[in-house]
Amino acid sequence: QVQLVESGGGLVQDGGSLRLSCAASGRAFSSYVMGWFRQAPGKEREFVAAITWSGGLTRYADSVKGRFTISRDNAKNTVYLQMNSLKPEDTAVYYCAADPSGSLIYTRSYQYDYWGQGTQVTVSS
């Protein structure tokens, strides 16, 4: 069983930055693919970024490519999402997710088994 707890959300102005953190419990964390998703009001949950267990492979949604960076620290059981040049359209609840298969990066939410409770990110114009 894996428990995920996100933090770091908040209110930021257009063009600002935030860093989200996701702390995971469970000894197998280092073998999981970790992802970030987001859900805006009235919209479906969408893929943002993901990273393999080694950190050697990352994948990003086109909408955040070049602005967001995902990273992980397996010694701390933590995955991060550095968000720069934020835009009002980035406003959403951001969720951390874990995929125990640990082999490939998937972008569909149903392919992730464990989820955090979410953290709100609001970008004002």
Query: DSSP character for 89?
Result: G
CA distance 49 to 61: 6
Average pLDDT of span 106-116 = 95
β-strand partners of 103: none
Average pLDDT of span 60-67 = 98
118: nearest Cα among 14, 31, 45: 45
Each residue's pLDDT tens digit, 5-55: 999 999 999 999 999 999 999 777 778 999 999 999 999 999 999 999 888
Cβ atoms 93, 38 nearer than 8 A: yes
Cβ atoms 57, 49 nearer than 8 A: no
Mean pLDDT, the chain, as a whole number? Answer: 94
